[in-house]
Amino acid sequence: MPLPLLSLMLVVFSLTTGEFVIAGILPDVAADLSVSVAAAGLLVTAYAVGMIVGGPIITIATARLARKPLIVGLVAVAVLANLGSAVAPNYAVLLITRGAAGLVVATFFAVAIATAVSTAPPDRQSAAVAKVALGMNLGIILGTPIGTLIGQSFGWRATFATVGAFAAVAVLMVLRFVPVLPVLPVRATGPVLPELRVFANRDVQLAIALTAVGNVGLVMVFSYIAPLLTDVAGFADGAVPILLLVYGVGAVIGNFLGGWLADKSLLPSVAGLLGCLAAALAVMWAVGADAPSVAASTFVIGVFGFAIIPGMQTRVMASASAAPTLAIAVNASGFQLAAAFAGWLGGRVGDSALGLRSIYLVGALLTFAGLAIAVYMVHRDRRPALTV
């Protein structure tokens, strides 16, 4: 892999790990800071809110900056925020630092992908994007279980310190190997208003809604996966990193499967996969106390949960073609809307009379709501053809 792309991929790996690793150390954070698991789940919400707010605003505000110093500045904020999380003296400070860590991530992803395209030959641009995006998959399949293992062995603060240190090393590689590049293309640096008008487009609104609603059920389950595995299924703490690895393997397989299906039939494939995901989450609720069945189901929801993402990304990019710079950030914001709501709702459900196990069932129902949106979009796309 060319060193510029490797540098960007390693940054993506570290930021993705920083986002998802909280799922594996949630009980440890709650116990150490003397807060409930539901309150600790709001750390997921704080990070997501940071991405939702920071994605569109920072992307537009920094559109005229040269890309290399912009990348370095964005990653520097993420490094400081993760190190701040490692030394946070109390829950309130940790909540703030998680929000700060999320502020710059959506913009970084957008700029990193644009940079990868710029540094690749015309016939290798898609491959360049795939190499950078590989960091996201590796962050889930390797970074999250490794970060969880570090947290269980040395304390949860060590996890955030490691994420910050790794991102710092990666950004040094960016400084060394990524060439100096100009600002983004002219279309991306024009007036702000035309960029923002994309949000008034009904297709864009539906695409964002599909991303947000379609993902919220799975994100809620993943946010509370550690207590679900230990307190409900009866696994030992040491099994959590292994099962997160199982989930990550499923996610990588699902990513390739979803991309292949989306190329065949975009929205119908997303609808079908959402139906499969809803069914898989319902099965997890039914077998939630049976450890072997939960282990197998963890792999299955990893497959279907990530198989829906390529089609959703493609739909957002196509719908938001009038604002290419914002398209990736908008999609990330849609996903983080799901994460923000999921972190809060999962805590409420787990603390209710329904119990922690019911998170699976609520997740299935929310995924079914995403399926309803996908079916409506399929019907909407076909309607003009029916009226000709």
Residue 90 predicted with pLDDT over 70: yes
pLDDT in tens, 7-23: 988 999 999 999 889 98
Of 137, 158, 138, the residue nearest 149 (C-alpha): 158
Question: Which residues have CB under 8 Å from 163's CB, separation 6+?
Answer: 14, 17, 18, 21, 82, 147
pLDDT in tens, 145-178: 999 999 999 999 999 999 999 999 999 999 998 8
Of 49, 110, 15, 95, the residue nearest 337 (C-alpha): 49
Amino acid 199 reads F
pLDDT of residue 156: 96
Higher pLDDT, 313 or 208: 208
pLDDT of residue 187: 44
Radius of gyration of the chain (CA): 20
Residue 94 predicted with pLDDT over 70: yes
pTM here is 0.80
Give the tokens for residue 34.
């003397």
| Whole-number average pLDDT of the chain | 86
Model confidence at 388, pLDDT cuts 50, 70, 90, reads very low
